[in-house]
Amino acid sequence: MLTASSRRATRCLGQTLRGVTTAATIFPNEPSVPTVNTFPGPKSKQELASLARVYDTTTAYFLTDYYQSVGNYIADVDGNKFLDVYSQIASIPLGYSNPKLAELARSPQMVNAIVNRPALGVFPSTDYYEILSQGLLSAAPPGMDQIWTTLSGSDANECAFKAAFMHQAARKRGDASFTAEELSSVMLNQTPGAPVSTILSFSKGFHGRLFGSLSTTRSKEIHKLDIPAFDWPVAPFPQLRYPLEEFISENRAEEQRCILELTQIFETYPKDIAAVIVEPIQAEGGDNHASAWFFQQVRTLTKKYNVLMIVDEVQTGLGTGKFWAHEHWNLDMPPDMVTFSKKVQAAGFFYSGKIGRTKEGYRQFNTWCGDPSKALLAKGIIEQIKDYDLLARAAVTGRNLYDSLAEISVRFPQVSNLRGKNRATFLAFDLPSGKERDAFLVKCRHAGVNAGGSGARAVRLRPGLWFEGKHAEVMLAVFEGVLKDMYK
């Protein structure tokens, strides 16, 4: 059953897409609707049980058949096919079995990158400059022209923290070299060589799960329990009311409160704060938004207090209708570092000037310093996005989808706090409780849609960039059906 709004969404999209390559051209074998026979199916259950003998499978939803997954549809080993709006925790950018990426994966350049993995810091490959400059750097955020490559979101953030700590220490040290005391104390993990310096993050922020990044993660207890952490400061992140345009003055007051607290921390916190890390939209924490004004204030304050500003675009990157979500803020001064991973497939951070470069060598360093096979994939992803104008198209799809969801939330008041307007398909809404949210997600899976949750009670949408009006329509129909089942 189509809702009026989803029909409208399709019509609009049909117009913008006339004469343009669509998902149907790229993925001729993409299913047009989900198929669910038995779920969870017997094969999935049985094979997961045998995998569990050697590999922890307690977080597995089902056993996936990637060979049968096409475009926006993910298949399991029992032949079920789900419309996937979760996309490997927001990390598949251009659908499954993307033929152009497959072609790239078969190219001699990729084979070379896979079998001859270089230690990029010491023996860089002859094509690495071209891969970076024509790929990742062609999509660099405004004001940034340099890059450091890593392997995941967590280590991208941690390498940015390292850059921040080293940069701040160098700023204070000036032209002087390390003191004898620094050189000896650091080997004992003691000050001054291992300084008491900190990274400030925001409540409900998520920045990864290694020890430095986990110390800045403030999402849920289960992410952090039993792991020693650095005693680093946390500032409140605005808790806004949605739709944003209906609560402008309340929300501004809340943001002002948070900015005031942040100022207080900068003024009074007893330890050095080397950097602030912030997500443009707090994703794991529940899709919490803040206005451009808030982020502009953070930028102004960090400049004022000589604190670096790291924007964590691991989940928002490529997802909000622009390459980088912080481009929506119109900052006067760019952030100091922008980290990425997930949909980019490669990980690392962008920066400008000297921030990512220490005076002495072998400080930001490790064996591989990234992975050229992933940087090459990122280049292919960015090219495809540009070739088909996929960011602008996702913005249109997202706008229509937002309208349709808004309409649903009128009919189902249990669907509340719809958010992500003008952020393409980076949308989320709340259900009354975590339990109901979890039930909703399970029922959606049974009805053929694989969606994800975040925060305490949010449903988040993280489709790829070949997600179009027709897919939105399928998803909306399933959502309506499940909501009816739950609430009518």
Partner 1 sequence: MTVSEQYFPQEPTAPKVVTSTIPGPESQRKIKELGQVFDERHAYFVADYTKSTGNYIVDVDGNVLLDVYAQIASIPLGYNNPALREVAKSDRMIRAIIDRPAQGNFPGADLAEIAGDVLKAAPKGQKFLWSGLCGADANELAFKAAFMYYQSQKRGYNAEFSKDEQTSVMANEAPGAPELAILSFENAFHGRLFASASVTRSKPIHKLDLPAFKWPKAQFPAYQYPLGDHEDANKKEDARCLAIVEDIFQNWHAPIAGVIIEPIQSEGGDNHASASFFQGLRDITLKYKSLLIIDEVQTGVGATGAFWGHEKFNLSPAADIVTFSKKFQSAGYFYNNPQITPNQPYRQFNTWCGDPARMILAGAIAKEIVKNDLVRKTSDVGDYLYAELAKLAAKYPKDMQNLRGEKCATFIAWTLESGAKRNQFLADMKMAGVNIGGCAEASVRLRPTLTFEEKHADILVKAIDAVLSKK
Ligand X SMILES: Cc1ncc(COP(=O)(O)O)c(C=O)c1O
Considering only 284, 287, 336, 480, the residue that binds ligand X (CB under 6 A) is: 284
211 touches partner 1 (CB under 8 A)? yes
| 268 part of the interface to partner 1, by CB under 8 A | no
C-beta of 92 vs 408, nearer to partner 1: 92
In whole angstroms, give the CA distance from residue 254 to residue 258. 6
Q: Check residue 122 for interaction with partner 1 (CB under 8 A).
A: yes
228 binds partner 1 (CB under 8 A): yes
Return the structure tokens found at 137.
């750097």
Q: What is the spatial distance between Cα 168 and Cα 274, in angstroms, rounded to a whole number? A: 6
b/e 270-292 (16+ beta carbons within 10 angstroms → b): eeebbbbbbbbbbbbbbbbbbbe
Q: What is the DSSP letter of 97?
A: T
Residue span binding ligand X (CB under 6 A) among the ranges 26-34, 204-212, 413-421, 436-444 = 204-212
Residue 287 interacts with ligand X (CB under 6 A)?
A: no
Contacts of 93 (CB under 8 A, 6+ apart): 87, 318, 343, 344, 345, 381, 385, 464, 465
Give the list of residues 6+ apart from residue 169 with CB closer than 8 angstroms, or none.
195, 197
10, 341, 400, 417: which one contacts ligand X (CB under 6 A)? 341
206, interface contact from ligand X, partner 1, none, CB < 5-8 Å by kind: ligand X
Residue 180 binding: pick among ligand X, partner 1, none (C-beta 5-8 Å cut-off by kind): none
Give the tokens for residue 78.
């029992």
54 binds, options partner 1, ligand X, none, Cβ within 5 to 8 A by partner type:
partner 1
Among 3, 16, 88, 300, binds partner 1 (CB under 8 A): 88
Kindly report whether the peptide bond that precedes residue 108 is cis, defined as omega within 30 degrees of 0. no
- Does position 207 interact with ligand X (CB under 6 A)? The reply is yes
Would you count residue 246 as binding partner 1 (CB under 8 A)?
A: no
Residues in the chain: 488
User: Which x/- pattern, by CB under 6 A, does the window 16-55 give for ligand X?
Assistant: ----------------------------------------
Site for partner 1 in 140-199 (CB under 8 A): 145-149, 151-155, 158, 161-162, 165-166, 168-170, 178, 182-183, 186-190, 193-198
Beta-strand ranges (E) seen in 313-439 are 337-340, 347-351, 416-419, 428-430
Q: Closest CB to partner 1 among 105 and 439?
A: 105
Which of 204, 445 has the CB closer to ligand X? 204
Nearest to ligand X by Cβ — which residue?
Answer: 153
* Residue from 104, 140, 265, 283 binding ligand X (CB under 6 A): 283
Please list, in sequence order, all residues whose beta carbon lies within 8 angstroms of the beta carbon of residue 285, skipping any fewer than 6 positions away.
204, 205, 206, 218, 219, 237, 279, 454, 455
Using the minimum distance from each CB to ligand X, give the nearer residue, 168 or 315. Answer: 315
Q: How far apart are CA 154 and CA 230, in angstroms?
A: 16
By CB under 8 A, which span of 10-18, 19-27, 95-103, 466-474 interacts with partner 1?
A: 95-103
- The backbone torsions φ and ψ at residue 41, rounded to the nearest 5 degrees and listed phi first, read -80, 160
Taking CB under 6 A as the binding criterion, the range among 76-84, 171-179, 206-214, 472-480 that sits at the site for ligand X is 206-214
Nearer CB in complex with ligand X: 41/319:
319
Q: Is 296 left (phi over 0), alpha (psi -120 to 50) or beta?
A: alpha
- Work out whether 302 is an interface residue with ligand X (CB under 6 A): no
Residue 325 binds ligand X (CB under 6 A): no
At closest approach, how far in Å is the CB of 177 from partner 1? 11
The SS3 call for residue 71 is: strand
Rounded Cα gap, residues 14 and 448, in angstroms: 24
Contact between 428 and ligand X by CB under 6 A: the answer reads no
Query: From the list partner 1, ligand X, none, which binds 345 (C-beta under 5 to 8 Å, kind-based)?
Result: partner 1
The answer to whether residue 288 forms part of the interface with ligand X (CB under 6 A) is no
Q: Is 69 in the site for ligand X (CB under 6 A)?
A: no
Separation of alpha carbons 379 and 101, rounded Å: 10
Computed over its alpha carbons, how large is the radius of gyration of the chain?
A: 23
The reply on whether position 239 binds partner 1 by CB under 8 A is no
**CB neighbours of residue 98 within 10 Å:** 22
Q: Which residues are catalytic?
A: 206, 312, 342, 367
Is the N-terminal amide bond of 432 cis, ω within 30° of 0? Answer: no
Cα 39 from Cα 19, distance rounded (Å): 39
Contact mark string toward ligand X, 347..376, x via CB under 6 A = -------------------xxx--------
CA 477, CA 2: separation in Å to the nearest integer? Answer: 6
Name which of 4, 400, 277, 323 is nearest 135 in CA terms: 323
Contact map string, positions 48 to 87, toward partner 1, x by CB under 8 A: x-xx--xxxxxxxxxxxxxx-x----x--x----------
User: Interface with ligand X includes 73 (CB under 6 A)?
Assistant: no
Residues that bind ligand X (CB under 6 A): 152-154, 157, 206-208, 279, 283-284, 312, 314-315, 341, 366-368
